[in-house]
Structure 1
Amino acid sequence: MFGIYLRRELSRRKKAALVIAMGLALGIALVITVNSVSAGMQQAQDKVLKSLYGLGTDMTVTKAMSAPSGNNSQGPAFKFDAKSNSSTKQSSDQVTQGGQALKSSLVEEVASQKGVASAVGALSLNVTKVNGSFTQGKAKTSTSSGSSQQQGGPGGGGGGNGGGQPQVQGGGASFDVNNYSVAGVDVTNQALGPLAAMKITSGRTFTASQTDAKVAVVSTSYAKEKKYKVGSTFTISGTKYTVIGIATPDSSESTTDVYLPLKQAQTLGDAKNKVTTIYVKATDSKQIATVKKTIQKNISGTTVTTSSDLASTVSGSLSTASSLAAGVGKWLSIVVLAAAFLVAALLTSSAVSRRVREFGTLKALGWPGRKVTRQVVGESIVNGLLGGVLGIALGLGAAYAVTAISPRLTAQLGSSGGGMGGGPGGGPGGGGPGRQAATNTMEIALSAPVSVTTIALAVALAVTGGLIAGAMGGWRASRMRPADALRSVQ
């Protein structure tokens, strides 16, 4: 009886049911859209942070940069032999550390802290290569009389010897400057550290036995710029390295150009048993904040940076869009959803008012108040579910449109504290995550993934909207008396 009457009443009031369902659908669709866009923002931010940290890295340990003492110059210095032959090329490499040095022994000390699953050290270097040639000028003496007179002594005595002052003509220098970044990698644990966020697309990566081998892995962008292939060679400070692999970042752009075994990088940077960054993996991702405090307490003079610390430094259109989605978008969703619930409740109550004769007659036939209330609530829940289906369809359509358009967002990462700064002369990727963040601008394509949780939330909202509307209308219907129906008869 309940189902038959419910189906008949809904078919009789199709327009009213559709209006209530559409009101709920718009609110639910907006909630789905905002949640999916917010999830896309979070994914985009994760891509930016993973490109700096590496997959599986929860935090990094660095040392704050100290101010230079005295008149010690931090700038690069180059020395060349005095060769006059223009056909002889002059070349010099200046290698500087991309951050303040830490003792390699600290890696084991960090790894032994409570809550740390593993730790690995890396050395960041910046290389400035200058190469070119000098050309010696030639001295020539002017022989014209006019010139000779103009070059005479004071008082215009003339100096009629016919000879002029010798002048150097020609000569000069032509040099190219190439800046690139180098990361020293612990080849025994490449799942954590600079190479963790890279995928080998040509050749191979390091083997565990190549701890001090003269081999290198280069990023795709740098290999394209220098036309390197697997098997190519290049020289840094007189040491020749062979390219064994070309790596592509899993997301965004690479912040390091060349990857070397850690010992080789330490030799180049004159940093024996030194690292600039310690990458840390926690045993439990929910205890990262606790592990951070433990490391800072037990190992003095270090700065611990987590992904959430870097997230607060993200700026650009990604940050602006995230703020809008998290702030304005969510509040707008709440307001629209509340308005949709209120409209549905008012429309249901209004419909009950127009059914005075119907409900009064049912009560006269013996229907109790709870049965009348159940009827109204049942109709409202069906309207809510219909609104949920329409809202999910609209929300999925909006999310698909955002993903199809894939608007491009820029992410700029800046230093959030002194401990995150890199060393002097740092290039791209220098100084660990902090230095990379200070110099790196990335472009991310926005998507709007819709999760099962979001769909479940939409269904829950639809049922809630139906219950609220039904409760308000049912309460009013239950208060009607059979006499009200008789009074409404003309």
Structure 2
Amino acid sequence: MFFTYLRRELRRRRKAALVVASGLALGIALVIVVSSVSSGMEKAQGKVLQSLYGLGTDMTVTKAAAPPTTTGQRPRFNFGANDNGSDKEQSSDRVLVQGFQTLAASTVSKVDSQHGVADSVGGLSLQVIRVNGQFTRGRFQQNGNGGGGRGGRQGGQQPPQGRVEGGGANFDVNNYSVYGTDVTKPALGPLTSSKITSGRTFTTSETNAAVVVADTSYAKEKKLSVGGTVTVKGVKYKVIGIATPDSGDAAANLYMPLQQAQTLAGAKDKVTTIYVKASDSQQISSVKSTIQKNISGTTVTTSADLADTVSGSLSTASDLASNVGKWLSIAVLVAAFLVAGLLTSSAVSRRVREFGTLKALGWKSGRVTRQVVGEAVVNGLVGGVLGIALGLAGAYVVTEISPNLQAQVGGSGGGGGQGGFGGFGGPGRRVASKALDVTLTAPVSLSTIAGAVALAVAGGLIAGAFGGWRASRLRPADALRRVE
């Protein structure tokens, strides 16, 4: 009887039911789109941060760079004299530890032993400054009058008169970044944010091998290929692989085994950054506190700390989605619920004769109320189905359009390179040298759909509460007064 009457009444009042369902559908669809876009923002932000840390890294441990001093050592380049009369090209490399003060390699073991740490690995960030060019010897051009004319100095000849033409120096200064990675733990570190698109990555046995993996952009610029060589501070390294970063910007131009990087920089058993993976992603804050407490002088930076430094159109869109979108969704939902409730209450007012007659025939107030609430819940579920369909369509459109957003990541402290030279920042804290392009998607999760269903039921219940309260107050006498 309940469902028969329910079906008949909904069919009789299709237009009113459609208006209520449409209002709820718009509110639910907006919630789904905003939620999915917010999820896409988080995913895009994760890609940006992954370009700094690497896949699987939850935090980094560093030691802040010492403040610059006026008496600090500056890069010096020494070139040998060339007396054989030929113009010979000369070059000199200066390898600098970049960004942070170094930490003892034993610190990695200390971090690894802390409670809540699943794994950790050290790395060394370097900057290589290369000066390459040649000196050209000038030529002395003597004046035409010679040096033996009248008026020479007493007791000797007058020195030849003339000028030096040509000569000079032409040198090019180039700098690039090198990162020493612990090849025995390939699952951590910034290289994990790149995909090997040519050649191979390091093997665990190449702890001190003269091999490198080149970033794809740097390899293209310098015309490097797998099997070729690159010279760093007089040492030839074989290129074994080309790495393409997932987010469009690499942590370094060249990657090499940690021991080789330490030898180049004269930093034996030193690292600049320790990459840490927590055993439980929900306990990152407590792991951070534990490391800072037990290992003094270190700075622990989590992905949550760096999230606030993301700027550009990604940050703007994220703020709009999380703030404006959230409040707009709430406002639309509240309006939809109120409209649904008022329309349901108004419909009950127009059905006074019907409900009064049913009460006169023996229907109790509770039964009438359940009938009204049932109709409202069905309207809410219909609105939920429509809202989910509209929301999925909106999320699909956003994903298909895939708008490109730009993001820049500011450093978490410390200056740039040493000795007054700029350049790339160290992995884990560098100031982005260029904007990163990320593609926005709008993934819809099952929890979002479940939330939409819950909102639909809630909207129906709220509308039913308005109408049920109105119906419960009706008396059979009201219906009799309206009978003509």
What's the TM-score bracket when you normalise by the shorter of the two chains?
over 0.9
Q: Taking structure 1 as reference, are residues 259 and 416 closer, same or farther at Cα in structure 2, changes over 3 Å only?
A: closer
TM-score by length of 2: 0.93
Matched, 1:476 2:431: no
> Structure 1: any 5+ residue segments left out of the alignment?
146-151, 153-160
The size of the alignment, in residue pairs, is 474
Deviation at 1:66, TM superposition (A): 0.7
Distance 1:295-1:423 versus aligned 2 partners, 3 A rule: farther
Moved more, 437-446 or 321-330: 437-446
Aligned match of 1:131: 132
SS in 1 for 2:71: coil
Quickly say closer, same or farther: Cα 1:57–1:422, change in 2 above 3 A: farther
Q: 1:232 to 1:459 in 2, by over 3 A?
A: same
Q: 1:438: Cα distance to partner?
A: 5.1
Are the structure 2 counterparts of residues 184 and 126 from structure 1 closer, same or farther at C-alpha, using a change threshold of 3 Å? same
SS in 2 for 1:297: helix
Alignment check: 8 A CA contact 1:181 1:427 kept? no
Could you tell me whether the CA contact under 8 Å between 1:253 and 1:442 is conserved in 2?
yes
Q: Cα–Cα, structure 1 residues 453 and 442, in superposed 2: closer, same or farther, change >3 Å? A: same
The answer for the alignment partner of 2:110 in structure 1 is: 109
Superposition pairs of residues 202-213 of structure 1, within 5 angstroms: 202-213=198-209
Aligned to 2:276, which of 280, 293, 296? Answer: 280
1:39-118 correspondence to structure 2 within 5 Å: 39-69=39-69, 71-74=71-74, 76-83=75-82, 87-98=87-98, 99-118=100-119
Answer whether contact 1:252 1:443 (CA < 8 A) is retained: yes
- Aligned residue for 1:379, secondary structure, equals helix
Whole-Å separation in 2 of the counterparts to 1:92 and 1:70: 24
- The aligned residue for residue 426 of structure 2 is 431
Q: CA deviation at 1:431?
A: 2.4
Give the 4+ runs in structure 1 shifted more than 4 A: 84-87, 161-165, 420-429
User: More displaced, 94-103 or 131-140?
Assistant: 131-140
Q: How far does residue 441 in structure 1 lie from its aligned partner after superposition?
A: 2.8
> Is the partner of 2:188 in helix, strand or coil?
coil
Residue 451 of structure 2 corresponds to residue 457 of structure 1: yes
Counterpart pick for 2:332 among 332, 336, 361: 336
Question: How far is the alpha carbon of 1:311 from its aligned partner?
Answer: 0.8
Cα RMSD, aligned residues only = 2.2
Show CA shifts across 1:185-231 (max 9, x none): 11110111122222212111111111111011111111111121110
8 A Cα contact 1:64 1:421, kept in partner = no
Deviation, 1:422, is 6.3
Q: Distance in 2 between matches of 1:426 and 1:366?
A: 92
- Is this contact kept in 2: 1:136–1:172, CA < 8 A? yes
DSSP 3-state at the match of 2:442: coil
Q: SS at the partner of 1:432?
A: coil
Q: 1:408 to 1:81 in 2, by over 3 A?
A: same
Secondary structure, counterpart of 2:315 in structure 1 = helix
Question: How far apart are the structure 2 equivalents of 1:166 and 1:426?
Answer: 41
Kindly provide the CA deviation profile for residues 88-121 of structure 1, in whole angstroms up to 9, marking residues without a partner as x: 2111111111121111111111111121111111
Match of 2:436 among 442, 448, 470: 442
When structure 1 is superposed on structure 2, of 205-214 and 193-202 the one drifting more is 193-202
1:365-376 map, 5 Å? 365-376=361-372
Change in CA separation of 1:115 and 1:90 when aligned onto 2, cut-off 3 Å? same
Which residue in the other structure is 1:180 paired with? 176
How far has the Cα of 1:384 moved from its partner?
A: 0.6
| Offset, 1:429 | 4.8
Q: Distance in 1 between matches of 2:169 and 2:190?
A: 38
The question of 1:266 aligning with 2:266 is answered: no
Determine the structure 2 residue equivalent to 1:166. Answer: 162
2:400 counterpart residue number = 404
TM (norm. structure 1) is 0.92
In 1, Cα distance between the equivalents of 2:235 and 2:478?
A: 100
Other-structure match for 1:485: 479
Query: Is the contact made by 1:47 and 1:252 (CA closer than 8 Å) also made in structure 2?
Result: no
Cα offset for 1:425? 5.7
Distance 1:425 1:396, change over 3 A: farther
1:222 aligns with 2:186: no
Tell me by how many angstroms 1:248 deviates. Answer: 1.6
Per the TM alignment, residue 387 of structure 1 is displaced from its structure 2 partner at its CA by: 0.8
Q: Give per-residue Cα distances to partners, 1:264-318, cap 9 Å, x unaligned.
A: 0001111111111011111111111111111111111111111111111111111
Change (3 A) 1:122 1:167: same
1:473/1:163 CA distance change after superposition, 3 Å? same
Q: State the Cα distance separating 1:243 from its structure 2 match.
A: 0.5
In 1: Cα distance, 2:405 partner to 2:86 partner: 49
Name the amino acid aligned to 1:286: Q
Matched to 1:330, the amino acid is K
Match of 1:123, as an amino acid?
L
Secondary structure at 1:271 match in 2: coil
Change (3 A) 1:427 1:68: closer
Distance (whole Å) between structure 1 residues aligned to residue 477 and residue 86 of structure 2:
115
Partners in 1 of 2:418 and 2:11 — Cα distance? 74
Does residue 356 of the first structure (1) align with residue 352 of the second (2)? yes
Aligned partners of 1:228, 1:209: CA distance in 2, in Å?
Answer: 24
| Equivalent residue letter for 1:39 | S
Contact kept? 1:100, 1:423, Cα under 8 Å? no
SS in structure 2 opposite 1:229? coil
